[in-house]
């Protein structure tokens, strides 16, 4: 599908405010674009002080939750942790475990661990997970959830009936029918009327804020010294879970702060897991970025939960020595390779089916994959959404229950996915057997016989919301680059205003280059290494997924859209243009 190229509109007031910060002209323009897009001041985006984090005060039920967890610690109760199987949940599991044991003094042996096996036990706090908790010896007195629970009211009721208290921490949207009423505390910044100012934080940060509140309660009660270990040491996991969950890195200053601080903790390599992962993230001298978390760490942690058991990722993050961490990292790498192979096969199938639907004029893509894999259909839905600029949902047969489909949805800006599913559910009672998520992503279960009913409702709801919108992938250009401006210093200055991610996208520049040489690279081909000339200056280029024939030829001059970056090799950076497309 043809990609639209647009110049970002300049907001004069925002640009003037950014220029007053003394930034490089291109950097000021980039910052102004992102500030204006989300309605904040440019300097607000550059506040990375931990002192600017919103404290847990204002989170619903936070005092009740902190009191109950503190009591469990003081009484030595068995505490069960139940979290999601994705990177947000896995990192939250590590944060809660390390926080309780290493920062709040709870014995590791009094902590139990539960994550649903995605392929056999389903998502969230499912009945099979609940069965395992109830069968545990010793049975826990308290369950703390992270990144799950908002849609798990019936299972919370089962735990309450058995005398087990539940503290639910989550960040997902809350069902129209309400949250888990039987929970002793329901800590979710998305709850209606919650005075906490930031509903955009990830599940891992909600869990971290709970620890903050518990630590403060223990200190105020004289049960912990005021200088007990700071929870800041856990921010590497908070950052990784935040980036992997693709929450806003523009409208949430909290997310920006914890990602910046967390990257610093990962670079400090205080824990074996970070030391073991460093060899998978490129040259050891390279400064890490949010992209390393998004594409280097997150997928490896996600892969375990998608294909097998997410506790593999938790055990790796909690490794006590370097040898165990290296072994865990190698296992995650092997699993990630397997995930990629499955994803590639299913993406090719889904793209073919989607093209047929696009030719029929579809505004949304509901794609059934008869030989699909419930662990990767969320990734496949993301690929479709990116390729065709439409909401997408991919379905696979339920691995344990014949006649059911499980699906994952991904959405574009302006089509909040959870709200879409809520509308479909209200208009079609009984169609959705189970669902949950947030604006950008959601999961659901339905009867296979009713797939077309869902597809019709999904299409109608998306078409209504996308009316008048041109449904094509688009690239927005930040600025035109002149010879002499494209330098490693510019790359460094652009990095200083990061982290980049959702709603704070990577920089896109446009420039005219003379192509000196092209060379296909990669095990599967389709990627091209370029030798470029920009106003008499040599520049390395890389063009990923450009296809079997390079879109530019040696000797020609082409206008390229690209992201400037540093390519590190043997401790030294080289200027590189990561090409996105060419302008015709």
* Predicted local confidence at residue 244, as pLDDT: 93
Q: 155 by DSSP, 3-state: which? A: helix
* CA atoms of 316 and 364, how far apart (whole Å): 38
| Domains of the chain, first to last | 4-8+476-583 (2.40.50.460), 54-333 (3.90.1640.30), 362-465 (3.10.310.30)
**pLDDT recorded at residue 413:** 84
Distance CA 457, CA 194 (A): 32
pLDDT score for 153: 95
Do residues 118 and 144 touch, judged by C-beta distance below 8 A? no
- Give pLDDT, residue 233: 97
pLDDT given at position 285: 94
Give residue 228's pLDDT. 84
Q: Which residues of 115-126 are buried (b: 16+ CB within 10 A; e: fewer)?
A: bbbbbebbbbbb
DSSP state of 186: E
This prediction's pTM: 0.94
pLDDT recorded at residue 139: 97
- Count other Cβ atoms within 10 Å, centred on residue 200: 23
| pLDDT, tens only, 61-100 | 999 999 999 999 999 999 999 999 999 999 999 999 999 9
Counting as low any pLDDT under 70, the low residues of the chain are: none
Contact 50, 257 (CB under 8 A): yes
- What pLDDT is recorded for position 159? 98
């Amino acid at each position: 599908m043809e990609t639209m190229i647009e110049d970002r509109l300049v907001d004069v007031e925002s640009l003037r405010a950014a220029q007053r910060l003394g930034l490089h002209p291109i950097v000021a323009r980039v910052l102004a674009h992102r500030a204006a897009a989300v309605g904040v001041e440019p300097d607000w985006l550059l506040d990375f002080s931990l002192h600017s984090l919103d404290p847990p005060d204002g989170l619903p039920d936070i005092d009740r939750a902190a009191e109950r967890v503190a009591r469990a610690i003081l009484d030595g109760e068995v505490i069960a942790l139940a979290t999601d199987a994705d990177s947000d949940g896995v990192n939250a599991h590590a944060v809660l475990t390390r926080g309780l044991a290493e920062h709040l003094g709870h014995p590791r042996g009094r902590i139990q661990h539960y994550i649903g096996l995605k392929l056999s036990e389903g998502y969230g706090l499912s009945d099979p997970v609940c069965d395992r908790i109830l069968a545990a010896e010793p049975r826990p007195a308290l369950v703390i959830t992270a990144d799950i629970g908002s849609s798990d009211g019936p299972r919370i009721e089962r735990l309450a009936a058995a005398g087990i208290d539940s503290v639910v921490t989550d960040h997902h949207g809350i069902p129209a029918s309400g949250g888990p009423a039987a929970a002793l505390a329901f800590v979710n910044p998305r709850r209606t009327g919650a005075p906490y100012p930031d509903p955009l934080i990830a599940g891992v940060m909600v869990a971290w804020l709970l620890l903050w509140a518990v630590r403060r309660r223990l200190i105020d009660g004289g049960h912990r010294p005021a200088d007990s270990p700071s929870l800041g040491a856990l921010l590497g996991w908070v950052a990784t879970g935040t980036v992997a969950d693709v929450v806003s890195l523009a409208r949430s200053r909290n997310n920006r702060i914890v990602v910046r601080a967390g990257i610093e903790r990962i670079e400090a390599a205080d824990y074996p897991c970070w030391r073991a992962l460093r060899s998978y993230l490129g040259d050891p001298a390279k400064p890490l970025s949010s992209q390393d978390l998004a594409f280097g760490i997150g997928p490896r942690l996600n892969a375990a939960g998608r294909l097998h058991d997410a506790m593999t990722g938790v055990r790796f993050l909690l490794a006590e020595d370097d040898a165990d961490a290296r072994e865990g990292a190698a296992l995650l790498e092997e699993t990630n390779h397997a995930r990629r192979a499955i994803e590639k096969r299913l993406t090719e199938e889904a793209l073919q089916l989607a093209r047929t639907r696009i030719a029929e004029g579809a505004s949304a893509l509901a794609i059934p994959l008869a030989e699909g894999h419930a662990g990767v259909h969320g990734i496949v839905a993301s690929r479709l959404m990116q390729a065709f600029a439409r909401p997408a949902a991919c379905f696979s047969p339920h691995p344990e229950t014949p006649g059911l489909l499980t699906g994952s949805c991904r959405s574009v800006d302006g089509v909040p996915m959870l709200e879409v599913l809520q509308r479909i559910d209200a208009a079609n009672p009984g169609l959705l057997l189970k669902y949950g998520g947030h604006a950008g992503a959601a999961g659901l279960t339905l009867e296979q016989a009713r797939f077309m009913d869902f597809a019709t409702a999904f299409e109608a709801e998306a078409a209504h919301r996308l009316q008048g919108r041109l449904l094509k992938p688009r690239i927005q250009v930040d600025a035109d680059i002149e010879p002499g401006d494209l330098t490693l210093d510019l790359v460094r200055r652009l990095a200083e205003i990061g982290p980049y991610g959702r709603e704070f996208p990577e920089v896109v520049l446009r420039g005219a280059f003379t192509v000196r040489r092209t060379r296909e690279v990669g095990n599967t081909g389709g990627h091209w290494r370029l030798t470029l000339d920009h106003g008499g200056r040599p520049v390395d280029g890389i063009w990923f997924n450009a296809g079997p024939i390079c879109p530019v030829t040696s000797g020609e001059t082409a206008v390229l859209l690209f992201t400037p970056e540093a390519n590190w090799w043997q401790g030294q950076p080289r200027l590189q243009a990561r090409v996105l497309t060419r302008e015709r």
